[in-house]
Protein backbone atom coordinates (compact mmCIF):
# COMPACT_ATOMS: atom_id res chain seq x y z
CA UNK A 1 0.00 0.00 0.00
CA UNK A 2 1.35 3.40 -1.02
CA UNK A 3 1.13 6.66 0.92
CA UNK A 4 -0.50 9.74 -0.59
CA UNK A 5 1.49 12.93 -0.03
CA UNK A 6 -0.06 15.09 -2.75
CA UNK A 7 -3.28 14.80 -4.74
CA UNK A 8 -4.76 16.29 -7.88
CA UNK A 9 -8.34 17.04 -8.93
CA UNK A 10 -9.37 17.58 -12.54
CA UNK A 11 -12.50 19.72 -12.84
CA UNK A 12 -13.21 22.85 -10.79
CA UNK A 13 -17.02 22.61 -10.67
CA UNK A 14 -19.01 22.11 -7.48
CA UNK A 15 -17.99 18.46 -7.09
CA UNK A 16 -14.35 18.97 -8.03
CA UNK A 17 -13.99 22.01 -5.79
CA UNK A 18 -15.76 20.18 -2.97
CA UNK A 19 -13.42 17.20 -3.26
CA UNK A 20 -10.37 19.50 -3.35
CA UNK A 21 -11.66 21.23 -0.19
CA UNK A 22 -12.02 17.87 1.56
CA UNK A 23 -8.46 16.92 0.60
CA UNK A 24 -6.97 20.24 1.74
CA UNK A 25 -8.96 20.09 4.99
CA UNK A 26 -7.28 16.74 5.73
CA UNK A 27 -3.92 18.54 5.51
CA UNK A 28 -2.79 17.30 2.09
CA UNK A 29 -1.67 19.64 -0.70
CA UNK A 30 -3.93 19.43 -3.76
CA UNK A 31 -3.71 20.70 -7.33
CA UNK A 32 -7.03 21.79 -8.88
CA UNK A 33 -7.06 21.84 -12.69
CA UNK A 34 -9.58 23.18 -15.18
CA UNK A 35 -9.47 24.16 -18.84
CA UNK A 36 -9.07 27.93 -18.40
CA UNK A 37 -8.07 30.43 -15.73
CA UNK A 38 -11.62 31.72 -15.19
CA UNK A 39 -12.86 28.23 -14.27
CA UNK A 40 -9.84 27.63 -12.06
CA UNK A 41 -10.47 30.87 -10.18
CA UNK A 42 -14.16 30.03 -9.83
CA UNK A 43 -13.20 26.67 -8.32
CA UNK A 44 -10.79 28.35 -5.89
CA UNK A 45 -13.50 30.86 -4.89
CA UNK A 46 -15.88 27.97 -4.24
CA UNK A 47 -13.33 26.33 -1.92
CA UNK A 48 -12.72 29.61 -0.10
CA UNK A 49 -16.48 30.09 0.38
CA UNK A 50 -16.71 26.60 1.90
CA UNK A 51 -14.01 27.53 4.41
CA UNK A 52 -15.55 30.96 5.05
CA UNK A 53 -18.79 29.21 6.01
CA UNK A 54 -16.83 27.28 8.65
CA UNK A 55 -15.30 30.51 9.94
CA UNK A 56 -18.74 32.11 10.25
CA UNK A 57 -19.93 29.12 12.27
CA UNK A 58 -16.93 29.41 14.57
CA UNK A 59 -15.53 26.06 13.44
CA UNK A 60 -12.19 27.51 12.33
CA UNK A 61 -10.27 30.79 12.56
CA UNK A 62 -9.44 33.13 9.64
CA UNK A 63 -5.80 32.10 10.07
CA UNK A 64 -6.69 28.44 9.73
CA UNK A 65 -8.67 29.29 6.59
CA UNK A 66 -5.62 30.87 4.98
CA UNK A 67 -3.48 27.89 6.01
CA UNK A 68 -5.90 25.49 4.32
CA UNK A 69 -6.18 27.64 1.19
CA UNK A 70 -2.39 27.67 0.92
CA UNK A 71 -2.59 23.91 0.37
CA UNK A 72 -4.67 24.39 -2.80
CA UNK A 73 -2.93 25.19 -6.08
CA UNK A 74 -4.93 26.14 -9.15
CA UNK A 75 -3.65 25.32 -12.63
CA UNK A 76 -4.62 24.97 -16.27
CA UNK A 77 -1.68 22.68 -17.07
CA UNK A 78 -1.07 18.99 -16.51
CA UNK A 79 2.59 19.91 -15.91
CA UNK A 80 1.64 20.55 -12.29
CA UNK A 81 0.64 16.89 -11.91
CA UNK A 82 4.23 15.67 -12.30
CA UNK A 83 4.58 14.88 -8.59
CA UNK A 84 1.08 13.85 -7.51
CA UNK A 85 0.42 10.46 -5.93
CA UNK A 86 -3.31 10.26 -6.67
CA UNK A 87 -5.70 12.10 -9.00
CA UNK A 88 -9.49 12.35 -8.87
CA UNK A 89 -11.18 13.19 -12.16
CA UNK A 90 -14.40 15.20 -11.69
CA UNK A 91 -15.30 16.56 -15.13
CA UNK A 92 -18.66 16.36 -16.94
CA UNK A 93 -20.38 12.97 -17.25
CA UNK A 94 -19.20 12.30 -20.79
CA UNK A 95 -17.21 9.11 -21.38
CA UNK A 96 -15.25 10.43 -24.37
CA UNK A 97 -14.19 13.48 -22.37
CA UNK A 98 -13.20 11.35 -19.39
CA UNK A 99 -11.21 9.01 -21.63
CA UNK A 100 -9.28 12.00 -22.99
CA UNK A 101 -8.58 13.20 -19.45
CA UNK A 102 -7.30 9.76 -18.43
CA UNK A 103 -5.11 9.56 -21.52
CA UNK A 104 -3.58 12.94 -20.61
CA UNK A 105 -3.16 11.91 -16.97
CA UNK A 106 -1.46 8.67 -18.01
CA UNK A 107 1.21 10.73 -19.77
CA UNK A 108 1.54 13.55 -17.23
CA UNK A 109 1.53 11.73 -13.87
CA UNK A 110 4.30 9.62 -12.36
CA UNK A 111 4.04 5.90 -13.25
CA UNK A 112 3.25 5.12 -9.62
CA UNK A 113 0.35 7.58 -9.40
CA UNK A 114 -3.18 6.23 -8.95
CA UNK A 115 -5.83 7.66 -11.29
CA UNK A 116 -9.44 7.67 -10.11
CA UNK A 117 -12.79 8.90 -11.38
CA UNK A 118 -15.66 10.49 -9.50
CA UNK A 119 -18.11 9.34 -12.19
CA UNK A 120 -21.65 8.57 -11.08
CA UNK A 121 -22.25 5.73 -13.51
CA UNK A 122 -19.80 5.52 -16.42
CA UNK A 123 -17.33 2.73 -17.16
CA UNK A 124 -14.16 3.03 -15.11
CA UNK A 125 -12.69 0.12 -17.07
CA UNK A 126 -12.92 2.21 -20.26
CA UNK A 127 -11.13 5.08 -18.55
CA UNK A 128 -8.47 2.68 -17.31
CA UNK A 129 -7.81 1.45 -20.84
CA UNK A 130 -7.38 5.04 -22.04
CA UNK A 131 -4.86 5.76 -19.27
CA UNK A 132 -2.45 3.03 -20.28
CA UNK A 133 -2.21 1.89 -16.63
CA UNK A 134 -5.40 -0.05 -15.86
CA UNK A 135 -3.87 -1.61 -12.76
CA UNK A 136 -3.51 1.87 -11.21
CA UNK A 137 -7.12 2.98 -11.94
CA UNK A 138 -10.25 2.80 -9.76
CA UNK A 139 -13.42 4.72 -9.04
CA UNK A 140 -13.72 7.08 -6.06
CA UNK A 141 -17.33 8.23 -6.12
CA UNK A 142 -17.98 11.07 -3.67
CA UNK A 143 -21.52 12.28 -2.99
CA UNK A 144 -22.89 15.79 -3.20
CA UNK A 145 -22.05 17.90 -1.29
CA UNK A 146 -18.62 16.31 -0.88
CA UNK A 147 -17.60 18.21 2.29
CA UNK A 148 -20.72 16.98 4.11
CA UNK A 149 -21.55 13.51 2.77
CA UNK A 150 -19.49 10.80 4.49
CA UNK A 151 -19.76 7.95 1.98
CA UNK A 152 -17.27 7.30 -0.82
CA UNK A 153 -17.81 4.34 -3.15
CA UNK A 154 -14.48 2.65 -3.98
CA UNK A 155 -14.86 0.80 -7.27
CA UNK A 156 -12.09 -1.48 -8.53
CA UNK A 157 -12.19 -2.78 -12.09
CA UNK A 158 -11.25 -6.31 -13.10
CA UNK A 159 -7.71 -5.02 -13.73
CA UNK A 160 -7.24 -2.89 -10.60
CA UNK A 161 -4.28 -4.09 -8.53
CA UNK A 162 -4.91 -4.99 -4.88
CA UNK A 163 -2.31 -2.41 -3.82
CA UNK A 164 -4.26 0.27 -5.73
CA UNK A 165 -7.51 -0.73 -4.04
CA UNK A 166 -5.91 -0.81 -0.56
CA UNK A 167 -4.35 2.62 -1.11
CA UNK A 168 -7.69 4.08 -2.26
CA UNK A 169 -9.47 2.75 0.83
CA UNK A 170 -6.74 4.12 3.12
CA UNK A 171 -6.83 7.49 1.33
CA UNK A 172 -10.61 7.78 1.78
CA UNK A 173 -10.24 6.95 5.48
CA UNK A 174 -7.56 9.66 5.80
CA UNK A 175 -10.18 12.15 4.57
CA UNK A 176 -12.45 11.07 7.47
CA UNK A 177 -14.87 9.51 5.01
CA UNK A 178 -16.47 6.04 4.95
CA UNK A 179 -15.15 3.86 2.08
CA UNK A 180 -17.44 1.16 0.71
CA UNK A 181 -16.05 -1.27 -1.85
CA UNK A 182 -18.50 -1.77 -4.72
CA UNK A 183 -18.30 -4.11 -7.71
CA UNK A 184 -18.15 -2.20 -11.00
CA UNK A 185 -21.51 -1.98 -12.72
CA UNK A 186 -23.66 0.76 -14.24
CA UNK A 187 -24.57 3.20 -11.48
CA UNK A 188 -22.44 1.27 -8.95
CA UNK A 189 -24.52 0.93 -5.75
CA UNK A 190 -26.13 4.10 -4.42
CA UNK A 191 -27.26 5.49 -7.77
CA UNK A 192 -28.85 2.16 -8.59
CA UNK A 193 -30.81 2.37 -5.34
CA UNK A 194 -31.72 6.02 -5.95
CA UNK A 195 -32.95 5.13 -9.46
CA UNK A 196 -36.46 4.19 -8.28
CA UNK A 197 -36.40 6.95 -5.65
CA UNK A 198 -36.31 9.68 -8.28
CA UNK A 199 -37.65 7.68 -11.24
CA UNK A 200 -40.80 6.29 -9.65
CA UNK A 201 -41.54 9.67 -8.10
CA UNK A 202 -41.37 11.13 -11.62
CA UNK A 203 -43.84 8.56 -12.92
CA UNK A 204 -46.22 9.28 -10.05
CA UNK A 205 -46.01 13.01 -10.79
CA UNK A 206 -46.59 12.75 -14.53
CA UNK A 207 -49.46 10.35 -13.99
CA UNK A 208 -51.17 12.85 -11.72
CA UNK A 209 -50.99 10.55 -8.68
CA UNK A 210 -49.70 13.39 -6.48
CA UNK A 211 -47.97 16.76 -6.73
CA UNK A 212 -44.20 17.19 -6.42
CA UNK A 213 -44.70 18.86 -3.06
CA UNK A 214 -46.90 16.01 -1.79
CA UNK A 215 -44.41 13.35 -2.87
CA UNK A 216 -41.43 15.21 -1.40
CA UNK A 217 -43.30 15.76 1.87
CA UNK A 218 -44.27 12.08 2.06
CA UNK A 219 -40.65 11.00 1.72
CA UNK A 220 -39.30 13.53 4.23
CA UNK A 221 -42.05 12.50 6.65
CA UNK A 222 -40.79 8.92 6.23
CA UNK A 223 -37.38 10.21 7.27
CA UNK A 224 -35.41 10.97 4.12
CA UNK A 225 -33.45 14.24 4.38
CA UNK A 226 -34.68 15.43 1.01
CA UNK A 227 -37.57 14.51 -1.28
CA UNK A 228 -36.79 13.06 -4.74
CA UNK A 229 -37.65 16.24 -6.67
CA UNK A 230 -35.66 18.59 -4.48
CA UNK A 231 -32.79 16.08 -4.66
CA UNK A 232 -32.94 15.99 -8.48
CA UNK A 233 -32.99 19.79 -8.64
CA UNK A 234 -29.98 19.97 -6.30
CA UNK A 235 -27.98 17.37 -8.25
CA UNK A 236 -28.92 18.89 -11.61
CA UNK A 237 -31.51 17.60 -14.06
CA UNK A 238 -28.78 17.23 -16.70
CA UNK A 239 -26.75 15.00 -14.39
CA UNK A 240 -29.84 12.96 -13.49
CA UNK A 241 -30.79 12.56 -17.15
CA UNK A 242 -27.33 11.36 -18.19
CA UNK A 243 -27.17 8.87 -15.32
CA UNK A 244 -30.69 7.70 -16.18
CA UNK A 245 -29.60 6.98 -19.75
CA UNK A 246 -26.69 4.83 -18.54
CA UNK A 247 -28.92 2.91 -16.11
CA UNK A 248 -31.64 2.37 -18.72
CA UNK A 249 -29.10 0.98 -21.19
CA UNK A 250 -27.83 -1.43 -18.53
CA UNK A 251 -31.00 -2.51 -16.73
CA UNK A 252 -33.78 -2.15 -19.28
CA UNK A 253 -37.43 -1.48 -18.49
CA UNK A 254 -37.12 -1.27 -14.72
CA UNK A 255 -34.75 1.68 -15.21
CA UNK A 256 -36.70 3.42 -17.98
CA UNK A 257 -36.70 7.11 -16.95
CA UNK A 258 -40.01 9.01 -16.79
CA UNK A 259 -40.89 11.32 -19.66
CA UNK A 260 -40.98 14.29 -17.32
CA UNK A 261 -37.21 14.09 -16.73
CA UNK A 262 -36.49 14.30 -20.46
CA UNK A 263 -39.02 17.13 -20.76
CA UNK A 264 -37.20 19.24 -18.16
CA UNK A 265 -33.79 18.42 -19.65
CA UNK A 266 -34.85 19.49 -23.15
CA UNK A 267 -36.34 22.70 -21.75
CA UNK A 268 -32.97 23.44 -20.07
CA UNK A 269 -34.68 23.48 -16.67
CA UNK A 270 -31.65 21.95 -14.98
CA UNK A 271 -32.57 22.57 -11.36
CA UNK A 272 -31.23 25.04 -8.84
CA UNK A 273 -28.25 26.00 -10.99
CA UNK A 274 -30.49 27.22 -13.83
CA UNK A 275 -33.19 28.75 -11.64
CA UNK A 276 -35.82 26.11 -12.37
CA UNK A 277 -36.28 22.35 -12.47
CA UNK A 278 -39.13 20.47 -10.86
CA UNK A 279 -39.45 23.61 -8.75
CA UNK A 280 -38.77 27.24 -9.68
CA UNK A 281 -36.03 29.19 -7.90
CA UNK A 282 -36.32 32.43 -9.90
CA UNK A 283 -38.86 34.37 -11.93
CA UNK A 284 -39.13 31.57 -14.48
CA UNK A 285 -42.70 30.35 -15.00
CA UNK A 286 -43.90 26.92 -13.91
CA UNK A 287 -44.18 25.05 -17.22
CA UNK A 288 -44.73 21.49 -16.00
CA UNK A 289 -48.37 21.85 -17.02
CA UNK A 290 -47.14 21.84 -20.64
CA UNK A 291 -46.38 18.16 -20.23
CA UNK A 292 -49.50 16.19 -21.09
CA UNK A 293 -50.09 13.98 -18.09
CA UNK A 294 -51.17 10.48 -18.94
CA UNK A 295 -53.67 10.60 -16.08
CA UNK A 296 -53.61 6.89 -15.55
CA UNK A 297 -55.15 7.59 -12.17
CA UNK A 298 -52.50 5.54 -10.43
CA UNK A 299 -52.16 6.03 -6.71
CA UNK A 300 -49.18 7.30 -4.78
CA UNK A 301 -47.78 5.78 -1.62
CA UNK A 302 -44.42 5.74 0.09
CA UNK A 303 -44.30 2.00 -0.64
CA UNK A 304 -44.46 2.72 -4.38
CA UNK A 305 -40.98 4.22 -4.04
CA UNK A 306 -39.52 2.14 -1.20
CA UNK A 307 -40.39 -1.34 -2.49
CA UNK A 308 -38.55 -0.86 -5.83
CA UNK A 309 -35.53 0.43 -3.88
CA UNK A 310 -35.55 -2.78 -1.81
CA UNK A 311 -36.00 -4.77 -5.02
CA UNK A 312 -32.98 -3.09 -6.62
CA UNK A 313 -30.94 -3.77 -3.48
CA UNK A 314 -31.86 -7.46 -3.88
CA UNK A 315 -30.59 -7.33 -7.49
CA UNK A 316 -27.33 -5.81 -6.17
CA UNK A 317 -27.00 -8.67 -3.68
CA UNK A 318 -27.77 -11.23 -6.37
CA UNK A 319 -25.03 -9.73 -8.57
CA UNK A 320 -22.59 -9.52 -5.62
CA UNK A 321 -22.21 -5.77 -6.06
CA UNK A 322 -22.01 -5.30 -2.28
CA UNK A 323 -22.80 -7.09 0.98
CA UNK A 324 -26.06 -6.51 2.92
CA UNK A 325 -24.25 -4.53 5.62
CA UNK A 326 -22.44 -2.38 3.04
CA UNK A 327 -25.71 -1.72 1.23
CA UNK A 328 -27.32 -0.52 4.45
CA UNK A 329 -24.32 1.59 5.45
CA UNK A 330 -24.29 3.13 1.97
CA UNK A 331 -27.94 4.07 2.25
CA UNK A 332 -27.41 5.57 5.70
CA UNK A 333 -24.22 7.48 4.87
CA UNK A 334 -24.80 8.17 1.16
CA UNK A 335 -28.49 9.06 1.01
CA UNK A 336 -29.47 9.93 4.56
CA UNK A 337 -31.82 6.96 4.88
CA UNK A 338 -33.36 7.33 8.36
CA UNK A 339 -31.15 5.96 11.11
CA UNK A 340 -34.10 4.68 13.12
CA UNK A 341 -35.00 2.32 10.25
CA UNK A 342 -31.55 0.70 10.49
CA UNK A 343 -30.87 0.76 6.74
CA UNK A 344 -32.86 -0.25 3.66
CA UNK A 345 -32.46 -4.04 4.00
CA UNK A 346 -32.97 -4.06 7.76
CA UNK A 347 -36.11 -2.02 7.18
CA UNK A 348 -37.24 -4.67 4.66
CA UNK A 349 -36.56 -7.40 7.22
CA UNK A 350 -38.67 -5.50 9.75
CA UNK A 351 -41.56 -5.11 7.29
CA UNK A 352 -41.32 -8.74 6.23
CA UNK A 353 -39.92 -9.87 2.89
CA UNK A 354 -43.26 -11.52 2.09
CA UNK A 355 -44.97 -8.15 2.58
CA UNK A 356 -42.47 -6.48 0.23
CA UNK A 357 -42.83 -9.26 -2.35
CA UNK A 358 -46.64 -9.09 -2.31
CA UNK A 359 -46.45 -5.31 -2.55
CA UNK A 360 -44.21 -5.52 -5.63
CA UNK A 361 -46.53 -8.06 -7.25
CA UNK A 362 -49.53 -5.81 -6.64
CA UNK A 363 -47.68 -2.80 -8.08
CA UNK A 364 -46.67 -4.89 -11.10
CA UNK A 365 -50.31 -5.80 -11.75
CA UNK A 366 -51.57 -2.25 -11.21
CA UNK A 367 -48.83 -0.21 -12.89
CA UNK A 368 -46.39 -2.27 -14.94
CA UNK A 369 -43.46 -4.68 -15.28
CA UNK A 370 -40.83 -2.36 -13.81
CA UNK A 371 -41.98 -3.65 -10.40
CA UNK A 372 -41.25 -7.29 -11.28
CA UNK A 373 -39.65 -8.88 -8.20
CA UNK A 374 -35.99 -9.87 -8.10
CA UNK A 375 -35.54 -13.69 -8.18
CA UNK A 376 -33.44 -13.53 -5.00
CA UNK A 377 -36.33 -11.91 -3.12
CA UNK A 378 -38.71 -14.57 -4.38
CA UNK A 379 -36.33 -17.37 -3.36
CA UNK A 380 -35.93 -15.97 0.13
CA UNK A 381 -39.69 -15.85 0.65
CA UNK A 382 -40.12 -19.36 -0.77
CA UNK A 383 -37.46 -20.56 1.70
CA UNK A 384 -39.31 -18.95 4.61
CA UNK A 385 -36.62 -16.28 5.09
CA UNK A 386 -39.09 -13.50 5.84
CA UNK A 387 -36.98 -11.23 8.02
CA UNK A 388 -37.32 -10.46 11.73
CA UNK A 389 -40.42 -12.61 12.22
CA UNK A 390 -38.62 -15.74 10.93
CA UNK A 391 -35.23 -14.70 12.40
CA UNK A 392 -33.65 -14.75 8.94
CA UNK A 393 -34.07 -12.47 5.94
CA UNK A 394 -31.37 -10.33 4.41
CA UNK A 395 -29.77 -10.56 7.87
CA UNK A 396 -29.76 -13.03 10.75
CA UNK A 397 -31.97 -11.96 13.68
CA UNK A 398 -31.78 -13.43 17.18
**One domain, residues 176 and 103:** yes
309 contacts 197 by C-beta, under 8 angstroms = yes
189 with 182: CB under 8 angstroms? Answer: yes
The answer to whether residue 297 is domain-embedded is no
The verdict on 212 and 83 lying in the same domain is no
The pLDDT score that the predictor gives to residue 259 is 93
User: For residues 394 and 349, what is the distance between their CA atoms, to the nearest angstrom?
Assistant: 7
What residues make up the domain containing 355? 302-390
The tally of domains found in the chain comes to 3
Kindly report the CATH number assigned to the domain that includes residue 385. Answer: 1.10.1040.10
Residues 345 and 277 in one domain: no
Instruction: Clarify whether residues 176 and 195 are in a common domain.
Output: no
Asked whether the bond before 145 is cis by omega within 30 degrees of 0, the reply is: yes
What's the predicted TM-score (pTM) here? 0.91
- Residue 195, in any domain of the structure: yes
Structural domain contains residue 344: yes
**Count of beta carbons in the 10 Å neighbourhood of residue 290:** 9
Exactly one of 67, 141, 248, 372 is catalytic; name it: 141
Q: How far apart are CA 184 and CA 192, in angstroms?
A: 12
Reduced DSSP (H G I as helix, E B as strand, rest coil) percent helix, strand, coil of the chain, to 5: 55, 10, 35
pLDDT digits (tens, 9 = 90+) for 121-144: 899 999 999 999 999 999 999 998
Q: Is 141 a catalytic residue?
A: yes
The answer on pLDDT for 292 being more than 90 is no
pLDDT in tens, 79-124: 999 999 999 999 998 999 999 999 999 999 999 999 999 998 899 9
Amino acid sequence: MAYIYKAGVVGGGLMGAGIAQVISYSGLPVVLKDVDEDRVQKGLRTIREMYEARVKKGKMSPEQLEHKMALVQGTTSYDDFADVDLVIEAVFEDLDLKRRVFADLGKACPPSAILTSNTSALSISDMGEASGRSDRVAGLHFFYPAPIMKLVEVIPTAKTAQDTLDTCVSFVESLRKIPVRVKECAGFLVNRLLMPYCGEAGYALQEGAATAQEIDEAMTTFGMPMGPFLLADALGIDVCWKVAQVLHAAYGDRANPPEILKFLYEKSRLGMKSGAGFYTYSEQPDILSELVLSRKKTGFSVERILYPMINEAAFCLQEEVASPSDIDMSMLAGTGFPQDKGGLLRYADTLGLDVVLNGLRNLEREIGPRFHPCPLLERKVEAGELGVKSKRGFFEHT
